[in-house]
Each structure stands twice: as structure tokens, then as C-alpha cells.
């Protein structure tokens, strides 16, 4: 008994340690995603953000925003005047001095345009990102640092060390010195940051490759693909599970079919993507190119083994006395399956369906070749059969690795990651609560 207690204590302690390690791992992985992802929804927005929301989305008090914008323009005018005055000074400088300052002045001028926006009265740039200054206070402080300091590298110790050298001494005694003083002391007066809650990030369209706006098209595309995959996979999965449990007889054919299902469950997801491209698009021609339909069919094949396994195990868990009682009362086999076995197995089947939907929502490789695009509008219900769509998983990867200004839109990347994680967690929690509720109803 003592040895048994020691063994029980060891196994219990091991289980608690495993749970603790899992929780710690989740906190380490999901914690930063949650903390930084919240920044896409809650942040300190500048007057440029309020002006952009008014002009691009029609949100906000137009009278108040325009009045505030007029005040800010007056506060910024000395900065623009100093830039023009320094340009005139450069024309009168010795060529050596002018050559020395030209490159640094170009960086300062471009930095001011990115921080505060273009000078009023000048032609509007073609890119939306150039029309407005910094819309977020955290990015504004980063841009200010790029203006006030020049990044250099010190290799005197052997290894390169990044050193920030102030630019102000280089322009001391010139008209440009005013720019550094104003930006260092009164940036809040030039941008007027305020705390902002932006729930529309979940539904707004993207503007200028996600520099502004939200992820509405990506969320809708993910929902289309996940729901489409389940609409295709669930009927076939349940029918296959019923056949395996109620109709198929043991033998080489059944063993072969089960081996096929097990093999499909272990195939890498990228293989499904290549198969979807080769079969559904190039052979079956379900669409002329990438489309939501082709992606949904590919994802349906991916999650089909999971649906079959979950449904089969749920059906096998139904007591055989249920079937015997129904048959003894005169019900046929098919009627017994529909009215007795499937309702009793419903909690397990629903759990497998919802978990499979969460997997379909988070997959990237299968939709790269069949459905996903990097940039695209919100796809309407009438276009899901023939048009590709953005999706959270693919666009998150694309924005982190291939976007031209990945550092500028870190908040969008983390916001996408948080949204995707929350969708998958919500689906898994829904499976738990749905299973518990259906089980209570079946028990009466």
C-alpha cells in the first residue's frame, strides 16, 4: 500500500507538472500575442487618425475634427516655414558645407513629411500613406527619434554597436534648429494623441495595404473557407462513419478503407494544397483560378478524416442496447440510425465538427494554392464560387515576411494573430459548451 501511494503521488505530481508546463507555455506564447494584439483595437490615436477616419470612413464629428485640424495646421506651420527657410540658406552656403548637410536634411525633410504629413498647399501624394502623418502615437515617437537622431555603427570594440547621434548639433545656428526643438518639446501639441477604442478593426476594409483600416476582408474570407469546408466535409464524414459502424463487415475492404482514412489524417497539409490546385482547379475546373470554392473543397478533404474519426467514435460509444430496443419495437435499421443512434452520438459528433472547423480556420498551406490572395476586397456571397479571398492565416504570414513596410504595421500583424487565436479558442470553447448542453438535453 505504501508503494502504491508513492506511485499514485508520483503520477499525480507528474500530471500537475504537465498541466503547469502547458499553462506556462501557453502564457509565454499567447501572452505577447494578446498584449500586442490588443494594441490594434485600443491605442492612442493622433489627430491624423481622426482626420483619416473622417475622410476615408465617414466617422467622427466633422465640425470638431476640422476645427482641431485647423488649429494643428497653425501649430505646425513654423516647422514647414523652417524647412523652407533652411532650403534658402543652403543655396547661399559654401559647396562643401552644402554637400555635408544635403543628405541629412533630406532625411529630416522626409521624416517630417512621414510624421506630420505633407505641407498644406502642396499636391497630394498618390499613396494614401503619404497623405496623412502618423496616426498612432507609438509610431509617431519612433518617427520622431528617426528625425532627431542619426543611426551609426561603432566598430571600435570589434563587434558593431548601434549608436544614436543627435542631428541637432549638425544644424546648430541654422533655421532648421527650430524643427528639432519643436519636435522634441511639443510633439503632443502637433499630433494631439487621445486614447481610442477601435472595434471596427474587425470589420473595416484595408486601405493602402493595411496601413489604415481593418481586417474585415480577411475575417470574412476565413469564415467563408471554414464554413464551406464544413458544409462539404460534415455530410460525407457522418455518412462514412455510419457505414463503418453500422453497415460494413470486417474484411480486407474495410481494413483498406480505414487505412485510407488514417493515411489521409497524416498527410502534410501542403500536399492537400497541391492536390487541390492540380485536381479541383486544373483538372475539374471548379473555377478559372483561385476561389473560395476550391479552397473550401481542399480544406474539406483536410478535415474529413477528423470528422470521420470523431463521428465513428461517437457512434461506437452509443450503447448497443439502444439499437436493440429500437429494432425490437419494429424500427428498421435506417430509422434506428436516424432517430436513436445519431441523436445519442450527437455530442461527440458536434465536438469533432467544431474542432475541425477551428483547424480549417487556422490552416495556411492548403489555401495558398487554391483560395488565398495577399490583397483583395471583401468577397460577396455571390462571388464565393469564382473569386479568391484574403484569409487571416495566409495574410498574417504574408504581412510578416513579404510586406514592404512590415515594421510599420506590427500592430496589424499582432491584431490578426490575436483575432485568429480568439476565433480558434472560441470554436473550441463552443465545442465544449455545445457538447455539455446537448448531453444534458439527452439525459432529460
Question: Which one is predicted more confidently, 29 or 270?
Answer: 270
Beta bridge mates, 316 = none
Check pLDDT > 70 for residue 444. no
Tell me, what's the pLDDT at 352?
Answer: 87
DSSP assignment of 36-79, as one string?
HHGGGTEEEE-HHHHHHHHHHH--S-HHHHHHHHHHHHHHHHHH
Residue extent(s) of CATH 1.10.3720.10 domains in the chain: 216-443
pTM: 0.87
Tell me, what's the pLDDT at 157?
Answer: 67
Check pLDDT > 90 for residue 384. no
Cβ atoms of 418 and 397 within 8 Å: the answer is no
Categorize the per-residue pLDDT at 119 as very low, low, confident or very high, splitting at 50, 70 and 90. confident
130 Cβ contact partners less than 8 Å away, ≥ 6 residues apart: 113, 114, 118
Cβ atoms of 336 and 323 within 8 Å: the answer is yes
Tell me, what's the pLDDT at 190?
Answer: 94
Question: Which one is predicted more confidently, 55 or 327?
Answer: 55
Model pLDDT for residues 207-239, shown as the tens digit of each residue: 988 999 999 999 999 999 999 999 999 999 999
User: How far is it, in rounded angstroms, from Cα 58 to Cα 54?
Assistant: 4
**Short-list 31, 46, 64, 59, CA closest to 201:** 59
| Assigned CATH topology for domain 216-443 | MetI-like fold (1.10.3720)
Model pLDDT for residues 160-200, shown as the tens digit of each residue: 778 888 999 988 889 999 999 999 999 999 999 999 999 99
Model pLDDT for residues 385-435, shown as the tens digit of each residue: 888 999 999 999 888 888 888 888 999 999 999 999 898 888 888 877 877
**Short-list 215, 235, 217, CA closest to 225:** 217
Amino acid at each position: 500500500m505504501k508503494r502504491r501511494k508513492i506511485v499514485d503521488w508520483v503520477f499525480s505530481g507528474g500530471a500537475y507538472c504537465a498541466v503547469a508546463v502547458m499553462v506556462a507555455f501557453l502564457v509565454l506564447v499567447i501572452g505577447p500575442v494578446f498584449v500586442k494584439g490588443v494594441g490594434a483595437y485600443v491605442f492612442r490615436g493622433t489627430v491624423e487618425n481622426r482626420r483619416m477616419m473622417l475622410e476615408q470612413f465617414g466617422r467622427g464629428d466633422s465640425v470638431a475634427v476640422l476645427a482641431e485640424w485647423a488649429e494643428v495646421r497653425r501649430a505646425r506651420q513654423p516647422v514647414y516655414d523652417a524647412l523652407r527657410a533652411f532650403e534658402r540658406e543652403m543655396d547661399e552656403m559654401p559647396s562643401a558645407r552644402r554637400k555635408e548637410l544635403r543628405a541629412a536634411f533630406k532625411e529630416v525633410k522626409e521624416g517630417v513629411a512621414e510624421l506630420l504629413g505633407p505641407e498644406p498647399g502642396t499636391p497630394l501624394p498618390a499613396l494614401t500613406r503619404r497623405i496623412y502623418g502618423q496616426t498612432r502615437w507609438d509610431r509617431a515617437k519612433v518617427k520622431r527619434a528617426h528625425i532627431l537622431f542619426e543611426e551609426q555603427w561603432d566598430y571600435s570594440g570589434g563587434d558593431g554597436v548601434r549608436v544614436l547621434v543627435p542631428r541637432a548639433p549638425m544644424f546648430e545656428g541654422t533655421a532648421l534648429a527650430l524643427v528639432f526643438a519643436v519636435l522634441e518639446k511639443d510633439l503632443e501639441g502637433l499630433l494631439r494623441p487621445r486614447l481610442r477604442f477601435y472595434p471596427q478593426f474587425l470589420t473595416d476594409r484595408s486601405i493602402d495595404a493595411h496601413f489604415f483600416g481593418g481586417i474585415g476582408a480577411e475575417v470574412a474570407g476565413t469564415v467563408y473557407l471554414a464554413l464551406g469546408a464544413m458544409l462539404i466535409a460534415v455530410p460525407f464524414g457522418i455518412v462514412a462513419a455510419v457505414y463503418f459502424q453500422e453497415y460494413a463487415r470486417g474484411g480486407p475492404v474495410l481494413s483498406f478503407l480505414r487505412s485510407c482514412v488514417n493515411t489521409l489524417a497524416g498527410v502534410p497539409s501542403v500536399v492537400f494544397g497541391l492536390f487541390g490546385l492540380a485536381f479541383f482547379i486544373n483538372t475539374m475546373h471548379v473555377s478559372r483560378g483561385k476561389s473560395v470554392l476550391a479552397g473550401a473543397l481542399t480544406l474539406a478533404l483536410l478535415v474529413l478524416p477528423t470528422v470521420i474519426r470523431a463521428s465513428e467514435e461517437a457512434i461506437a460509444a452509443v450503447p448497443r442496447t439502444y439499437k436493440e430496443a429500437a429494432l425490437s419495437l419494429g424500427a428498421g435499421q435506417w430509422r434506428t440510425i436516424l432517430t436513436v443512434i445519431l441523436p445519442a452520438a450527437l455530442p461527440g459528433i458536434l465536438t469533432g465538427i467544431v474542432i475541425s472547423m477551428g483547424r480549417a480556420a487556422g490552416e495556411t498551406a492548403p489555401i495558398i494554392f487554391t483560395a488565398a490572395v495577399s490583397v483583395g476586397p471583401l468577397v460577396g456571397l455571390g462571388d464565393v464560387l469564382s473569386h479568391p479571398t484574403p484569409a487571416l492565416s495566409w495574410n498574417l504570414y504574408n504581412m510578416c515576411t513579404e510586406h514592404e513596410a512590415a515594421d510599420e504595421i506590427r500592430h496589424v500583424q499582432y491584431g490578426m494573430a490575436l483575432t485568429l487565436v480568439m476565433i480558434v479558442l472560441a470554436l473550441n470553447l463552443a465545442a465544449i459548451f455545445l457538447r455539455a448542453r446537448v448531453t444534458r438535453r439527452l439525459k432529460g
